[in-house]
Structure 1
């Protein structure tokens, strides 16, 4: 079965797809440093404050017996998408690395904030390595073995279809030094014809391109991982009217930056990491896609009949 884990990793991204092929795909990493944080007690109001209780994705993978990662996809070269990349590569065997051909530069004078300069230096080293992992620069519409073709060339495999970027979008991002519009956007087609979009930090130019070229592919999807964590800077003015996601997952960001109104005005359901902590989706449930969360209080608020499932280490809240 295909299982998607949308991890609560502070203000960053990390997604794990367990494919039926037994391949593991990791999209981005954040909060991957071995740091222990202590926070105040959890609020039981509408703001559940789960941003203050992020998981370390490396520990999360270890606890679930991951040893090999078939592909690691870095959507774009922002530090909140590679926070802990060195530790990830040091801990697990990683066979394939998807990277954009960006020319972003950071130096000793850059503002590193809470991030580790060693992660950036490691990224620069690994992306030019001729040894393992295999570095792939893939663009919209490309097809290949294992990500969307089987060994005999038939469609399917791990169900990952690239909607962006294009070489033009990457080139333009390199010139403008705004790297959100060179972000990978990936359509995941499950074996039971469900559609999930992993949108990275894609912005207006990317979605203009997608709607011009893949409008029917992205129409009426099941789940959207909101672009740019759900911020107002993600997407464009029209994409939600086409996608009409049954459920959207937001990452963590300050509430004033999140684009709640675009979803609320359209009557579109959404859940944030700040509410639910981690969100796990079994894409092949009996009646649809089963959604679990790792924060019990929020689960009971969503569904008074919730139950805990040990196989997902989460509480069931809905089927879509």
Structure 2
């Protein structure tokens, strides 16, 4: 029996760190009417359905300053369908727009804490819900019929136990919804999750509800994206420090208004709590409608309609310049800011970062540099293996000041970068990467993005050729001794030697026949084994 031997050398490669999403969700924090206070969140689910949470303080589609109907017409079309509608509690700065939406669009499912929200919906039209013909799901009915607590209710996902479910890939858990007499503590609070991406929507929940959420749902933190309670106010303990510490949000979104605000939220103290936790802040009165595009791996692209520049003063009111927009094609004439609103943090976001370039590269790292501004809190690095970012959730919306739409990038650093140049490590070899920056002010306003810089990391080390391979039969049992010259790891590392090899072999036999000496050769299937 003879053997044919081939000796090869192993080399190691890294798996790319960036993971593309397989499912995407879009969450809009909608600008209301001119200087009008109110929550409204619109969600586009992976399966194509949608949901709306509250509708802000507007009630007439004839109001020239109304933005919500224009926004919904833009997104779902005139007379379109709203699959899931939540009224968190019966205050009019949450309910009026929901009434308008139910009158103007086709609503399939309506969710609330209990009868008080039903009464509010019918307060100016006793048959509004009946005429709509939508299914109604009260959390008070869930608790009465199941003997479970509100925080044991799941509206969507694999644990759905109430209602038709929103999307099998989206988990929606009720964290609080108590059928009490006071409106704010009634707020229906939910956590929405798509894989690793997590959102909190709390209506006007107060400190007591925040305490109960921490006690009753201890495994639901952290949550990446926080819709601030009660428009960012500190009323009755809303947005308390212990709750923010428990949640550890990366981003806070504050739906707020202007001249009609009585006590001027967001409160300075709440903004400062968020800053202390290094939580990035967005607010509708300066940013307009804000869109969050998320994949199922915990990556977020955030698109603001506006980048605030200054307040025009001297008249009865101060005017936000440029006036914030509700959607890209929206033309807004004016947005007034009243005297009740604190001016402490009515400040500009940073300029778009610029000059980003790759200055060096290796197999598993890249060095970046850019036009550095030392007055900022710092910068975040974003990267993707796809030019322009992962475009799976793109919808045509562009960040203020940018000429191109961006997809979803992965944020690299967990805290702002405070020096430059900066080395990004842990990358795959021989892989194309695309980088951008966001800039963060000391008051934690963010501006996305810089120009995109790209490079391809160096290929992996490939060992040199094995030389002087020889073999010797040791005995009749088929044992063979192999020897060779150990090659260097590579020409770039001539002093290092490979320590792992692979032997590939096949057995064969032959026999001679009579003249003119033809031969028959029989090969066995090739086999292989490793040598350390």
User: The TM-score by the shorter chain falls in which range?
Assistant: 0.7 to 0.9
Return the offset for 1:296.
4.2
Structure showing greater Rg: 2
Secondary structure of 1:2's aligned partner: strand
The structure with the greater share of residues assigned to strand is: 2
Return the offset for 1:22.
1.0
Return the offset for 1:267.
2.9
Matched with 1:279 is 290
Tell me, yes or no, if the aligned pair for 1:32 and 1:58 is still in contact at 8 Å. no
| Cα distance per residue 1:107-137 (max 9 Å; x no partner) | xxxxxxxxxx997323x6445x397111101
Specify which structure has the bigger relative contact order, considering alpha-carbon pairs within 8 angstroms and separated by 6 or more residues.
1
Matched with 2:210 is 207
**Equivalent in 11, 26, 47 of residue 3 of structure 1:** 26
Is the counterpart of residue 24 in structure 1 residue 50 in structure 2? yes
**Cα pair distance change 1:190/1:318, threshold 3 Å:** farther
| Cα distance per residue 1:268-313 (max 9 Å; x no partner) | 2211112201100001299810000111456994451599x86225
Tell me, yes or no, if the aligned pair for 2:102 and 2:132 is still in contact at 8 Å. no
| Cα distance per residue 1:230-266 (max 9 Å; x no partner) | 1112233410011110000112152574522222333
Is the counterpart of residue 133 in structure 1 residue 134 in structure 2? yes
Task: Judge which range, 15-24 or 140-149, deviates more.
Answer: 140-149
Return the offset for 1:147.
9.0
Runs of 4+ in structure 1 deviating by more than 6 angstroms, as ranges, are 150-153
Is the counterpart of residue 33 in structure 1 residue 60 in structure 2? yes
Is the counterpart of residue 267 in structure 1 residue 278 in structure 2? yes
Q: Distance in 1 between matches of 2:399 and 2:104?
A: 25
**Cα pair distance change 1:144/1:203, threshold 3 Å:** closer
| Cα distance per residue 1:70-121 (max 9 Å; x no partner) | 1110000000001233331122110000122144899xxxxxxxxxx99732
| Cα distance per residue 1:118-165 (max 9 Å; x no partner) | 97323x6445x3971111012322135669649999x94432111111
Q: Distance in 2 between matches of 1:288 and 1:225?
A: 17
Q: Distance in 2 between matches of 1:314 and 1:204?
A: 34
Q: Distance in 2 between matches of 1:220 and 1:188?
A: 12
Q: Distance in 2 between matches of 1:164 and 1:118?
A: 21
Matched with 1:161 is 173
Is the counterpart of residue 225 in structure 1 residue 227 in structure 2? yes
Tell me, yes or no, if the aligned pair for 2:231 and 2:265 is still in contact at 8 Å. no
Matched with 1:251 is 255
**Equivalent in 302, 312, 315 of residue 397 of structure 2:** 312
Tell me, yes or no, if the aligned pair for 1:32 and 1:56 is still in contact at 8 Å. no
Secondary structure of 2:154's aligned partner: coil
Q: Distance in 2 between matches of 1:152 and 1:17?
A: 17
Q: Distance in 1 between matches of 2:205 and 2:292?
A: 22
Task: Judge which range, 140-149 or 257-266, deviates more.
Answer: 140-149
